[in-house]
Structure 1
Amino acid sequence: MAPVLPHILLLVTDQFRLDAFTPSVTPNLFSLAETGSTTFNSAYASTPTCTPSRASLLTGKSPWSHGMLGYAEDISCTEYPTTMPQVLDDAGYKTYISGKNHFGSLGNDTFVTQGYQSEQIYDGLGAGIPGDTNTDPDDYNIWFARLFDKHLNGTVPERVVNETGWDSKYYKPAELMDKADWRGDPGSEAARNTRAGYLANVEFVDEGVGTVLDILSSKGVLDDFLIIWATDHGDMNGDHYLWRKGYPWEASAHVPLVVRAPGGSSVKESDAIVEVRDVAATIYDAAGVLDAVRGRDPLMNGESVLPITSGDEVKVRDHLDLEHSMVYNETIHWNAVLGDDEETGGRYKFIFNAFEGTEQLFDLREDPNEGVDLVLWGGEDVRDGVLKRFREIMVKQFEDEGRGEAWVKDGELMVRKISVVYGANYPCDH
């Protein structure tokens, strides 16, 4: 007899800061996390803007492997060897997507759905999955609920003032800012108003999550589902004088991830380093097709987190690669490595600014708000130890991926004045 496969509910919120995930602002998401789920405290979006992060979600791949290295306008590519809806269709699942997917448009309000069998897509305010609440859950084995978010900026806590001032270069007084500016200090009143708008938006999204979860509970099928809540990226919201997303710093790249295994997870929290690419791999694992997908598509390098939720494993990877091509300004062009350092036992983030050739290093356990840049303030032992080791990890990554001498030459990271949005593994013309 064939194994009984779980139903799957994938909830994807947009532009969701990790510190907006609180009992008071998001009671429904918090309830999901508290009742039989694993909360991943070290989840990241490697390329923290909309379209490349969704490419990772769709394909289960790192940025270099799916080929979208930054925010891309041409996103309607349907030539990936494997994608989540196509894989699940082959496995016998019925698939449904509701909300904003940002996979591209064919014009005339026709959207690229990447193979979902049924869809209710919109890029603005409108009806979503509540209109289908009477549908028998057996009719859809996977629901991809893309809960609409309007990209409202807001400064959640007031910016952390630090002693190093590495972020002072992003300061701009309010009178020199425009409403769409990516950097600057708009003043306390504007910041408060923006914060209120952002958190109100988050609360509204949480209400939608509650509606979906209440439906599953009322039908008595909650334990039949693998439920994953993920997001595509965070939002700086004024931290370090920066706004929006696309940056390597925590408010932009560090995101929530909650996974409820069918019947409930055994592990409540995990500090394992995970990423958006792992969502697809986790779903493939639950569907019993992960090994088959790897055989068809060797570039699918996401990892299942189900062994973490069951307590069978405690680690997914030692280090995580992050990157983004130029966004807003030529100086916002970077690569990063995040991970644990065996010699010191610390968890660090190394950032290489590709346009300027400068580096940063932060101790995320001791300095989670990234106030102290250890390249400037860490001392010679840090520069000769942790910094050197993490730089070598990035060099090896580029060499192993065959990025070429524009990226690394003779063991040295190269300054890159030209932005590359589509890498060698992007499967479509652009």
Structure 2
Amino acid sequence: MPRSTLLHHTWRLPLLISVVYVLLQLTAGSSWTLFPDSYRYARAAEQRLGESREEAHRTALEAFCTSRASADAENKRLDPLAHGAKADPTTCLERWNNAPDITTGDPRYQSIFSSRPGYPLVVAPFIGAFGVLHGMRGFGLVMSLAGALLVFELLRHVGLSPPRAAIGHIAFLVSPLGWWSLQALSEGVVTVCVLGTLWGGLVIMRGKYLPGAVLFAGSLAVCAVTRYSTALLLAALIAATTFVSWCVRRSRRVLLLTGAAAGSAAAIALVMKILALPNSEVTLQDTFTRHFRFPEVPNPWNRLVALDLRYWQHWIAAQAAMPLFLALTALALWALLRYGRGLGPLVWAAALTGVSQVVAHPLAQEADRLGVLMWIPVVFGVPLATQALRDFRLLPNDRTVRDADSVVEPGCVSTADPR
């Protein structure tokens, strides 16, 4: 088969899956709505497009209130005691129209978002072309599909056939990774950047240093502009996991990646220091003062430890009651060790990044979003585990070959091992 035809068939399946996914999202819906953070991102994007702060506030607020009213009306329509529920954003608009922000105008809180301009920058063209609601939803679709296609290509890069790689493509879209990438939040951009960083690291380990370094550093840079805390954690954890891998394999390429990741982490930390970006102390005070509505607490780190103990006890109990995620993660651990071909340390660094984000913000109502990267091993491990089925099907043929080799023709001397 000519190579062009082969490539055509290689991409036919993921493109078909993507088309079906988009049609489902646009026709069946996905309980999509704007979040309070979405309002702030939309406001920043409108300012990038030339609106004043007041105009951007009103535009973003109108979209937020319309979205929330539609969601409330949908919930009421499902209530057997409610009749004829309609979307009415009036109350929301009246409440926040003259306020500086729908949460708080405290400059410490606002600095958390102003220091992360990446998502407003990339979503601004979509908002300019289609408006806030349609633009942010369309951009979410692009991010979810981009993440799924990156998973497909990474799995192809480690040797999976197109049908098996398509399992990862589907797994991404149906997992929380796909759902959060679809939302009007920075998770989609961050997830695509994380996957790009993993791909760059894998290319470096394959010996293609320049393209791998460009992809690795470029993805981390975009991630840092979007959410620098995630970029810092990811780089540091890739350095840690690849160093452990080097201790086992003693590969020069793995050691080069370890150095690149460590250098990237140091560079991000230095930029944070120079620009005086909000650090963990600020975000902890935000957590324990409910967005600075209450006085700052004197011991946020002690409070964090206590809250972590309570949260992770709750998480373990929830997983014990429904252990699907743990079972899939265990399968992924085995598959990545057996068939990962260098991908394992990178994937587990991404997963540990998700764990670290939840440890830093152990809030039950936000943990699913903050810890969404914990699903990355599942998305890669499940399709890799299908390689075991291929190996199992080959076993009978192997036995046949061994039996044929042990047959002794009349008058010949057997060379089979007598043991």
Q: TM-score, normalised by structure 1?
A: 0.22
Larger RCO: 1 or 2 (CA < 8 Å, sep 6+): 1
Whose radius of gyration is greater, 1 or 2? Answer: 2
Considering fraction of residues, name the structure with more strand. 1
Considering fraction of residues, name the structure with more helix. 2
Q: TM-score, normalised by structure 2?
A: 0.23
